[in-house]
Amino acid sequence: EKQSSSSSTQPATGSASGGAIKIGHYGSMTGSEATFGVSTDNGIKLAVKERNAAGGVNGKQIQLITYDDQGKGQEAVTAVTRLIQQDGVVAVLGEVASSRSIAAGPVCQREGVPMISPSSTNPQVTEIGDMIFRVCFIDPFQGYVGASFAKNQLKLDKAATLYNRSQAYSAGLNKEFVNAFEKLGGQVLIQQAYADGDNDFSAQLTAIREKNPQFIYIPGYYTEVVNIARQARKLGVTCPLIGGDGWVSEELKNAGDALDGCYFSDHYSQEDKRPEVQDFLKKYKSEYGKTPDSMAALGYDAANLLFDAMKRAKSLNGHDLADAIASTKDFKAVTGNITINEHRDANKLAVIQKIQGGQFSYYATVEPPK
Amino acid sequence: MTQLIQTLTDGIAVGSLYALIALGYTLVYGILQFINFAHSDVFALGAWLSFTIATWFGLAAGSGATTPPWYIGLAVLALAMIGCGIVGFLIERLAYKPLRAAPRLNVLITAIGVSLLLENVGQLEGMFRGHHFKIFGPYPKAMPALIPDRVLLHFAAVQFRLVDAVVLGTALFLMVAIQWLVFRTRLGMAMRAVSFNHNSAALMGINVSRIISATFVLGSMLAAAAGFLYAMKYAQLKQTADNVWVLLGLKAFVAAVVGGIGNIRGAMLGGIFIGLIEFFGVAYLSDKYRDVYVFSLLIIVLLVRPSGILGKATVEKV
Amino acid sequence: MPLLSVRNLDVCYGVISALQEVSLEINRGEIVTLIGSNGAGKTTLLRTISALVRPRRGAIFFNDVEITRLAPHEIVRRGVCHVPEGRQIFANLTVHENLLLGGYQERDANRIRASLDRCFSLFPVLAERREQRAGTLSGGEQQMLAIGRALMSKPQLLLLDEPSLGLAPLIVRKIFQIIREINAEGTTVFLVEQNAHMALTVAHRAYVLQTGRVIKSDVASNLLQDPEVKKAYLGG
Amino acid sequence: MSDAIGDNLLLDVRDVSIRFGGLCAVNKFSLALPPGALYGLIGPNGAGKTTAFNLLTGVYRPDGGSVYVQGKRVDGLKPHQIAHAGLARTFQNIRLFGELSVLDNVRMGAQMRGWHGLPGTLLRTGRYVKAERGIDRHARQLLDIMGIASREAEQAKNLPYGDQRRLEIARALATEPKVLLLDEPAAGMNPQEKHDLMQLIRLIRDRFRLAILLIEHDMKLVMSICERITVLDHGETIAAGNPSEIQANPKVIEAYLGEPV
Amino acid sequence: MAETAMLRKRMSVSASESPEELRPPAWSFVPRAFAPLLVGTVVAGILYFFVQPAIGGFGSNLLLFAGINIILAVSLTIVNGFTGQFSIGHAGFMALGGYTAAAIVYYGSFKIYGDASFHGGLVSWTGRAGGFRGPLLGSGDLLFVGATVAGGIVAAAAGWLVGLPSLRLRGDYLAIVTLGFGEIVRVVLQGTDEQLRRYDLELIRSTPMLKLMNKLGGALGFIGIPAYSTVFWVYLWVAIMLIVAVRLKHSSYGRALLSIREDEIAAQAVGVNITRYKVRAFVLSSFFAGVAGALYALQIGSINAGELGFQRSFEILIMVVLGGLGSVSGATLAAIILTALPEVLRFVDQYRMIVYSLLLIIMMIVRPQGLFGVREAWDLFRRRRPRGGA
Ligand SMILES: Nc1ncnc2c1ncn2[C@@H]1O[C@H](COP(=O)(O)OP(=O)(O)OP(=O)(O)O)[C@@H](O)[C@H]1O
Ligand SMILES: Nc1ncnc2c1ncn2[C@@H]1O[C@H](COP(=O)(O)OP(=O)(O)OP(=O)(O)O)[C@@H](O)[C@H]1O
Ligand SMILES: [Mg+2]
Ligand SMILES: [Mg+2]
C-alpha cells in the first residue's frame, strides 16, 4: 500500500523516500518498442514489491524509479544521467536493446554506478567497463544453443535464417547461429532479412522456400514471429522454425497452429518445479493477468540479483556494489542459476521449448560448448 | 517460374493494401492539399477497433476457432468504420479546424502531434487511481478470422487466397466509388470547389466546414476499412505505436505520391506499383534494401514526372 | 424598407483599421455604387457583408434580419451573392461545373436548368465554352463566368467587386450593359468600381469611401457633377 | 520600322512565337525599342500580351524567333540571366515578396547590381559593406521616388493595391534595367491615380533613360502617353503605329475598341 | 501641374554619392568579421569552465543536447525557413555526418594511437574519470575537429545531391523526396558491416581509411567512439551556426533565399539564380546538420541510424515551425524548449508523450506563427529596425 511497488517518477524529495534505497530502471516505456520496456518494468516492479513486502534490503525499503527513454539513445543517456545525478540511485537496471545499453552504459561506468542489463545480448555491452553486468545470454551462447540443438538433437543439416537486420539482437544472434551451425558441420542455405516495421515476409519466405531448407532459424521477437509463422505456413513452408528467447510469450498462441512443432531456446522452463519459477509465474499472473515473457522474467531476475548483491555488499557505494554483483555465484533466479563470469556476463544453462497448440513446454537442455 | 508468379501475386496483394490506405491519403490531400500524417494512426485504430469489436462479439483467435457468418464480419467492419469516422471528425474539429488560416506547415506539425497522441493513447495500459485500465495496451493481439481462409487459385506452389482477393476487390471498389463520389455527385463537386479555395466555395453557399469534416470522416472510414482488412490479412496486430503502422502508412503515402497525389486512380496504380517493386526487389535483388527500393522508386518517378504518374502538373500562369 | 442596411461598421486587419463607422443602405431594385481610391476599404466592405471578414463593431441587416454573425454560406442562402475581386472562378473545373456550383443550394433540377439557360442567354460565349476548363478562359470570359455563376443562385442582392478590372474596353461596355439588364430583371446590385465614370453612369445612387469612411452619398448623377468627386475620382 | 534597326536598339524582338498545345498564343511577334521609347501593347483579353512579356523575360522559352537586349541575344536564357542583361518587368497579377518588408522588396531588386559572394556575406568584408550600403541607399531612393518611402517597414502584402503596383515598379527599377516592361500597371486604379501614375512613368523614363513597353486597357491613357502602339489579337500583330493611326484602324476597332473612343 | 512638380522634386533628391564613402576603412575588417566569433568562443569557454561544473552532469547533458538541437534547428531554418524548401530528411544528413565523424575518430584513433580511447586536451575534457593529464590542446582534439568538419562536408555533399531535385519539385513533393532520402540513408547505414574492434588492430592499421567506411556497425550502431564533444565544442559550433544564420538572413544573400520562398518567378525576374541558391541553401544547411551529427555521435560515444529516421527529422522540423519559420532566434529558443520539455514532463509519468503531443497541438493552434513569427527576438524590442548598412 505504501510506496511499496512505486514506479513513481517523482524526483527524490527526501520526505517521500525516507530511508529507502533508490534503484533506477530505464527502458522504452512508450514508442514502438514499448512492449519490451513495459514487460521488463513489470518484472522489476514485481521483484521490488516482493522484496519490500519481505522487509526490503538490510531493513530498508526499495524505491524504484522508472524513466522512459522512448527507445532513443539520447533519451537513454539523459534518463540514466538523471537517475544517477538527480535521483541518486545506487544502481541502474536496463536496457532491453543493446544499442541503448551501449549508449547509456558509459554514463554508469563514468559515474561509478553499477548497471545490470536484463536482456541486452550483444557481447559488447559488458565490455564498456567493470560497472556493467547482465543476466541474460549473450548472442554467441544462444546462437550455439540453437545450432547445436538443431544439428545434434534434431539432426538437421540444412538451415535457412530469417532475421531482423535493424535489430541488434536479431542480427547478432543470426550471425552467431550461422557461425556455430557451420562450425558444427551444418549448412546455411540462405539468410534473409527484414526490418523493423515490416509485416509482410512472404517475399523472404518465398526465397527461402526455393532453397528447401530443413528448418528456418528465426532469431526475432515474438511480435514478429507470429506473422512470420503464419505466412510461412500459407506459403507451404512446412519445416520447423527455431528461435531464441525473444519468442517467449503467451502471445505465441496468436499463431494458432502455425508454430506447432517449432522450437526455441529459453532460459528456463515454466514446468520447472523450482520454487523460484513457480512462485514467479503465479505472482506475475495474479499481478498482471498474463504469463510473463522472457523480458519480464529477466527484469525480475536482474532486480533480484541486484538485491542479493546489495545484501552481500560492504556498502551501497558503487564499487562495493559492483564487486558484490561480480562475485555472484549460483544465484537462484527464475531464468536459471546465474553465475556472473569474468566478463560480467551471466553463465547459465539454456533449455529448449517446444510449441504445440499455441503452448510451449520443456523439450531439452543444452549444455554450453566445451 | 513459381517464384515469379508467387512474387507477382504477393506484390499485388500487398500493393492493393497500400492502395487502400493510399486512397485515404489522396482523398484528403486532393481536397485539402494537406498531408494527413495521422492517417496511418487512424488506420491502426481501425485495425484495433475491429479487434476490440470482434472481441465484444465473443470471437477469439487461435487454433480451433471457426469463422463466424459473413454478416458478423460486415458488422465489425461497419462499427470500426463508424468509430474511426467519429475519431476523424473529432480530430478535424479540434486539431485542424482552428488552423484553417494557418500556414500548411503548421497543420503538418499538428498532424504529427495528433499522430503521436493516437499512438501513445493507444498503447496505454496502467493504473489510474487504483483502477486498472487499458486502451489497447502495449502487447500484440491476434485478430479473430472473420473471412474464411480459403484458397481461390492454385498454381504449383502459389496460392491466391480469399483474403487477398477481398483486399484487391475492396480497393478497386472503393477506388471506383470515390471516383464516382468526387466527380459525379453534388458533394464531390463541393469538395472540388473547396479544394480550390475556401472563400470562393463559401461564396457559392457551400458549408465549407461541413465539406471538410465530411472529407475527413470519409478518409478516416477508408482508413478503418483498410485497418480491418489488414487485420484480416495479418491476424497479429502490433501495438499502436509500432513502426509497422507508420511504415505501412508511409509506403501508402509514397504510393499516393508516385501515382500522383490527389488522383484517385493514381493511388491504386501507385499502391500496386510499390507493392510489386518491393517484392521483386527482395526476391531478385537483395532482401536488405526493401525500403530503399520503395524510396528510390519514389525519387526516380518524381524526377521524371514531378507530379507523379497520373498527377497533373499544375502550371502556374504568370 | 432597405434591402441591405449596414450600420456603424468598424473593421480591422490586426491593428490596421480598414473601415470606420461605415453606414449605408441599399433599396430593392437599385444599382448602388461605391467608389473610392485604392485601399479605401471597398473590398473590405463587401467581404464583411458576405462574412468573409468579421467586423469589430456594427451590424448588417438584410431584409431586416441581422446577418452580421452568420457564416458565409448562410448569407448566400439568404440571397446575397458576391462576385469577388479577381474573379476567383474554379480554375480546374469546367465552365458548366462552375455554373452548377453557383446554383449549389438549389436542389430542384428543373430550376437549375432554367437558371443555366438564362445564364447562357445572357452570356452566349459561356454556352460555347461549356466543357472548357475555366482556368483557360480569357480574362473577360472569366469575368462573365463569375457574374453568371453568381446569378445562378438567383440572388436578391448582387455584390460586384470591380467587374471591369483588367478587361478590354469592348468587354467593359458589355459588362456594364449586362449589369443594367440584370437590374432590370429585378436584381439589386451593389457595385464597387474604380472606373467611376462608368459606375456613376449606370448607378442610381452612390457612396464615396475615403480611407475607411463614407464621406459622401448622393444620387449618382449629382456625384458625376460634384467637383470634388470629379477631381479625385474622375480624373479632373 | 526600318529606322529603328541598329545597334542602338535597347530591345529588339524578331518574330518570336509560342504555342500552348494547339493554341498559338503569340505568333511572329516583332518589336523594337530605341532608347527613351515609351511604347504600348494592347489587344483584347487573351490576345497574348502577357504571354509576349513572358517570352521576352524568359518565363517561357520561345518556339522561334530571337530577342536582343542591348544587342545581346537573350532568348533561350534563364529569366535571371535576362534580368542581368537589363530587362525588368512587373506582373499583371502582382507578384511581390509578400512577407518581406517594402524596403526589402526593393533591396532584392537592387542587389542584382551590387553583388558579392557567400564568404563576403559571412565575413562582412569591406566590399560587402560597401555593396550593402549602396543597395540600401539605392532602394531608399527608389521608394522616395515612387512615393512609398513612408511605408518601407510594412509587409508588402499589406499595402493597398495601388501601392503594391508602385512597389513592383520600384523593385523592377532597382535592378537598373535598360528596358522596363509594365503589365497593366494602372489596373485597379481610379482615373486620377492612373493619371498620376502615367506622369510618374514618363518621368522615370526620362530620369533613368529607359525604354518602356506598357500593356494597358485604358485607352485614354494609352493614347495619351504612348508614342507607338502595337495591337495583338489571337497572338497576331494586327496593327502597329502611332496612337492616331491605331485609333483609326478598322481592324483594331473591330477587335478591341468597339467604337472610336 | 503641381503634382508633376512634386514628382520632379522627388526625382531629384538623389544627389550622386561617391561610392568610396560607402566603403568602411580597411582596418575594421578583422573586428567586424571575427568579433562575434570571439564572443562566441568566450561564451563557450564560460559555459565549459564555469557553468558546466556548476550545473552538474544532468544539467550539462541537457545543455549539450540543447546545443546540438540548436544547430539542427537553425540549419534546417536555412532551407525550410529562409528558402521555403520543404525538407523533412534532416536527420539523414545528421546521420551521415555522425557516422563519418565517428568512423574517422574511431578508426583514426586506432591508426594513430593504437586504441580508441580518449586522447583529448583541455577543451575536450569531460572530467570523466581521474584527473586531466595530457597536452593542453591535445592531439585528439585536432582529430576530432577534423572529423567534425569532415562529417559536415560529407553531409554537405549529400545535401548537394538532394538539392538538385529541389529544382524540379515543389512543396510537398520535395518534402516526400527528402523524407525518402533520409530513409534510404538510414537503411543503408543499418546495413553496413560490423565494426572492427580492438582485436582487429592489425587489420585496421593495414586497411585504408576509405575501405573502413563500410564497417559502421550495422544494426547495433557505431559504438565505442571516444567522446570528444564537450560543452565548449558544441557551443563553439552553435556560435558559428548562429553567426552564419543571422548574417545570412540580414544580407542580400539571405534576402535572395527569402525571395525564393516568397515567389520564385518574381525572384528570377529580379535576377536571382534560383537554381544556385536553392542548392547552396541545401548544402549549407546539411553541412551544419552533419556537424551536429558529428557532435552528437562524439558526445554520446555511439550513434545508431535506427534512431535517425524521419521521426527525428520531424522533431527538428517541429523546432523550426514552433520557433517561427525563418526566425533564427525562434528556432534557437524552440530547440532549447523542446530539449527540456520531455524532462520537465517526466512527472506525468506514462502520460508524458500524451501531454507532449497535446502541448504540441495546442501550441500550433494558439501560436500558429511560432514563437516570434518570421521576426527575431531582438526585433520585438525595437520598434524600427535600422538594418543593413544604414
Ligand atoms: N488581409 C489584410 N491584412 C492586412 N491589411 C489588409 C488586408 N486586406 C486589406 N488590408 C488593408 O485594408 C485597407 C483596405 O483594403 P481594401 O482591399 O478593402 O481596399 P479597396 O478599397 O478594395 O482597394 P482597391 O481599390 O485597391 O481594391 C488597405 O489599407 C489594405 O492595405
Ligand atoms: N501556360 C499556359 N498554358 C496554356 N495556355 C496559356 C498559358 N499562358 C497563357 N495561355 C493562353 O494564351 C492566351 C494568351 O494569354 P495572355 O495572358 O497572354 O493574354 P493577355 O493578352 O495578357 O490577356 P489579358 O488582357 O486578359 O491579360 C490565352 O488564351 C491563355 O489562356
Ligand atoms: Mg478592392
Ligand atoms: Mg495579360
CB contact under 8 A, B207 and C97: no
Which ligand 2 atom lies nearest to the CA of residue D60?
1
pLDDT tens sequence across D172-228: 999 999 999 999 998 878 788 888 888 889 988 988 889 999 999 888 888 999 999
pLDDT of amino acid E239? 96
E residues 339-358 near D, CB within 8 Å? none
Contact (CB<8Å) B299/E181: yes
% chain C with pLDDT above 90: 50
Assess B151–E contact: CB distance below 8 Å, yes or no. no
pLDDT band at A12 (very low <50, low <70, confident <90, very high): very low
**How far E302 CA sits from the closest chain A CA (Å)?**
6
Residue, of B69 and A143, whose pLDDT is higher:
A143
Residues E283/E160, Cβ–Cβ less than 8 Å: yes
For residue E172, being part of any structural domain is answered with yes
- The residue in chain A having the minimum alpha-carbon distance to the alpha carbon of residue B280 is A203
The answer to whether the CB atoms of D45 and C197 lie below 8 A apart is no
pLDDT computed for residue A14 by the predictor: 38
* Closest CA–CA distance from residue E169 to any residue of chain B (Å): 6
- Is A99 within 8 Å of E128 when comparing Cβ atoms? no
Contacts with A72 from chain E: Cβ below 8 Å: 307
- Residue C47 Cα: closest atom of ligand 1: 18
* Alpha helices (H) in chain A, listed in sequence order: 34-53, 73-81, 98-111, 139-148, 168-183, 202-211, 222-234, 275-288, 294-312, 318-326
φ, ψ (nearest 5 deg) of residue C71: -80, 155
Question: Quick one: pLDDT at residue E127?
Answer: 55
**Is residue D25 in contact with ligand 2, taking CB distance under 6 Å?**
yes
A357 touches chain B (CB under 8 A): yes
CATH placement of domain C1-79+155-236: 3.40.50.300
DSSP E275-333: HHHHHHHHHHHHHHHHHHHHHHHHHHS-B-GGGSSHHHHHHHHHHHHHH-TT-HHHHHH
Residues 6+ apart with CB under 8 A from E345: E352, E355, E356
Is C43 close to ligand 1, i.e. is its CB under 6 Å away?
Answer: yes
Provide the pLDDT for residue E138.
Answer: 65
On whether any CB of chain E is under 8 Å from the CB of B95, the answer is: yes
SS3 for B315?
coil
Q: How distant is the alpha carbon of residue D94 from its chain centre?
A: 12
Are D111 and E384 inside 8 Å of each other by CB?
no
Hey, what's the torsion of the CAs at D134, D140, D141, D146, to 10 degrees?
150
Q: CB–CB of D163 and C165 under 8 A?
A: no
Per-residue confidence (pLDDT) for residue E333, from 0 to 100:
94
Sheet with C31-36, edge to edge strand ranges: C80-83, C157-161, C188-192, C31-36, C205-210, C213-219
Backbone dihedral angles phi then psi of residue A279, each to the nearest 5 degrees:
-60, -45
Cell numbers describing residue A223:
511480435
- 3 state DSSP class of B38: coil
Shortest alpha-carbon distance between residue C222 and chain B (Å): 33
What is the distance in A from the centroid of ligand 2 to the CA of B32?
28
What domain count does chain E have? 1
ipTM of the complex: 0.91
CATH number at residue E173: 1.10.3470
Measure in Å the smallest separation between the Cα of D135 and chain B Cα atoms.
28
How far apart are alpha carbons E35 and E28 in whole angstroms?
Answer: 11
Chain D residue nearest residue C196, CA to CA: D190
A197·B290 Cβ contact <8 A: no
Nearest to D180 by CA among D52, D117, D90, D105: D90
pLDDT in tens, C169-181: 888 888 899 999 9
Contact by Cβ (8 Å): D200, D11: no
Share of chain C residues as helix, strand and coil, in percent rounded to the nearest 5: 40, 25, 35
Q: What is the pLDDT of residue E268?
A: 93
Is residue C38 lining ligand 1, measured as CB closer than 6 Å? Answer: yes
For A219-238, how does the pLDDT look when each residue is reduced to its tens digit (9 = 90+)? Answer: 999 889 999 998 999 888 99
The residues facing A340 across adjacent strands are A346
β-strand pairing of A158-164 with A215-218: parallel
Atom of ligand 2 nearest to the CA of C137: 31
The three cell numbers of residue C227 are 467637383
Phi, psi of E34 (to 5 degrees): -110, -10
End-to-end Cα separation, chain E, in angstroms: 34
Helix (H, G, I), strand (E, B) or coil at A17: coil
Would the CB of D96 count as within 6 Å of ligand 2?
no
The interface residues of chain E toward chain B in range 315-334, judged by CB-CB distance below 8 A, are 317-318, 321-322, 325
Sequence-separated (6 or more) residues with CB below 8 Å from residue E69: E292, E316, E319, E335, E336, E338, E339
Rounded distance, CA E147 to CA E144, Å? 5
Chain B neighbors of A197, CB-CB under 8 A = 242-244, 246-248
Summarize pLDDT for C150-170 with one digit per residue, the tens. Answer: 988 889 999 999 888 888 888
**Quick one: which atom of ligand 1 is closest to the CA of C16?**
5
pLDDT tens, residue by residue, C5-39: 999 999 998 888 899 999 999 999 999 999 988 88
Other beta carbons less than 10 A from residue A357's beta carbon = 14
Mean pLDDT, chain B, integer? 88
Cα–Cα distance list, E91 to B293, E177, E181, E291 (Å): 20, 14, 10, 12
Least distant ligand from the CA of C47: 1
pTM above 0.90, yes or no: yes
Chain D residues lying within 8 Å of C199, measured CB to CB: none
Which ligand is in closest contact with the Cα of B315? 2
pLDDT at D42: 93
Concatenated DSSP letters of C6-27: EEEEEEEETTEEEEEEEEEEE-
Q: How far is the CA of D50 from the centre of ligand 4 (A)?
A: 4
* Domain annotation covers residue E202: yes
Is position E9 within any domain? no
**pLDDT, tens digit, for every residue of D54-97?**
999 999 999 999 999 998 999 899 999 999 999 999 998 889 99
Q: Is the CB of D161 under 6 A from ligand 1?
A: yes
pLDDT at residue B161 in the model: 84
- Of the listed ligands, the closest to the CA of D59 is 2
Measured between beta carbons, the chain C residues lying within 8 angstroms of D231 are none
Average pLDDT score over chain D: 88
Closest CA to E160 of E46, E280, E277: E280
Distance of alpha carbon C68 from alpha carbon C56, whole angstroms: 11
- Contact A99/E220, CB-based, under 8 Å? yes
Distance from CA of E376 to the nearest CA of A (A): 29
Cis peptide before A95 (omega within 30 of 0): yes
| Surface of E (122-181) touching A: CB under 8 A | 128-129
Rounded mean pLDDT of chain C? Answer: 89
Check: CB of residue D36 under 8 Å from CB of residue D211: yes
Cα distance between the two ends of chain B: 54
Quick one: pLDDT at residue C36?
87
> What cell does D92 get?
499583371
Cα distance from D2 to chain E (closest Cα, Å)? Answer: 30
Q: Which atom of ligand 1 is nearest to the CA of C192?
A: 22
Beta strands C205-210 and C188-192, pairing class: unpaired
Q: Dump pLDDT digits (tens) for A180-214.
A: 999 999 999 999 999 988 888 988 998 899 899 99
Quick one: pLDDT at residue E198?
84
Q: CB–CB of C182/C189 below 8 Å?
A: yes
Residue E21 included in any domain: no
* Residue C41 Cβ contacting ligand 1 at under 6 Å: yes
What was the pLDDT predicted at E176? 87
Cβ–ligand 1 contact at C13 (below 6 Å): yes
First-to-last C-alpha distance (Å) of chain C: 37
CB D195 within 8 A of CB C236: yes
- Asked whether residue E351 is domain-assigned, the answer is no
Q: Whole-angstrom Cα distance, residue E302 to residue E293?
A: 11
Q: Which domains, ranges and CATH numbers included, belong to chain B?
A: 2-125+134-304 (1.10.3470)
List the domain range (segments joined by +) for residue E124. Answer: 32-308
Judge whether B318 is closer than 8 Å to chain D, CB to CB.
yes
Residue C192's pLDDT is what?
A: 93
C194: nearest CA in chain D? Answer: D190
| CA E221 – CA E309 distance, rounded (Å) | 13
Whether E181 has its CB under 8 Å from any CB of chain B: the answer is yes
Structure confidence at residue A7 as a pLDDT band (50, 70, 90): very low
- CA dihedral for A300, A303, A306, A310, sign (positive or negative): negative
**CA–centroid distance, residue D26 to ligand 4 (Å):** 12
C186 at interface of D, judged by CB pairs closer than 8 A: no
Per-residue pLDDT 10s for chain B (318 aa) are 778 888 898 899 899 999 999 999 999 988 888 888 899 999 999 999 999 999 888 887 765 567 788 888 899 999 999 999 999 999 999 999 998 888 888 888 899 999 999 999 998 887 777 777 888 888 888 888 888 878 887 877 778 888 889 889 999 999 999 999 999 998 999 999 999 888 899 999 999 999 999 999 999 999 999 999 999 888 889 999 888 998 899 999 999 999 988 889 999 999 999 999 999 998 888 888 888 999 999 999 988 888 888 887 766 667
Question: Which residues in E lie closer than 8 A to residue D78 (C-beta atoms)?
Answer: 268, 273, 275
Of B109, B124, B296, which has the smallest distance from its Cβ to E321's Cβ?
B109
**Residues B307, E210 contacting (CB under 8 angstroms):** no
Query: A220-231: buried (b, 16+ CB within 10 Å) or exposed (e) per residue?
Result: bbbbbbbbbbbb
Subunits with 3+ C-beta pairs closer than 8 A to C: B, D
What does the domain layout of chain C look like in residue ranges?
1-79+155-236, 89-153
Is B28 part of the contact surface with chain E (CB cutoff 8 Å)? no
Q: Which residues of chain E have pLDDT under 70?
A: 1-21, 122, 125-138, 380-390
What cell numbers appear for E138 in the block? 591535445
Cα radius of gyration rounded to whole Å, chain B? 20
Ligand 1 atom, smallest distance to C194 CA: 25
Cα–Cα nearest to C36, from C128, C131, C162, C221: C162
CB atoms within 10 A of CB A234: 16
Q: Could you tell me which residues are beta bridge partners of residue A332?
A: A337
Helices then strands, each counted (H, E), chain D: 10, 10
E: neighbours with 3+ CB pairs under 8 Å? Answer: A, B, D
Ligand in nearest proximity to the CA of C233: 1
- Would you say residue A9 has pLDDT above 50? no
Q: Residue E30: CB partners within 8 Å, gap ≥ 6?
A: none
The pLDDT of residue E338 is 93
Per CB-CB distance under 8 Å, the chain D contacts of B318 are: 50, 54, 59, 91, 93, 95
Per DSSP, the three-state class of E361 is helix
User: Strand D228-233 vs strand D38-42: parallel, antiparallel, or unpaired?
Assistant: parallel
How far does CA A332 lie from the centroid of its chain?
17
Give the pairing type, strands C65-66 and A91-93.
unpaired
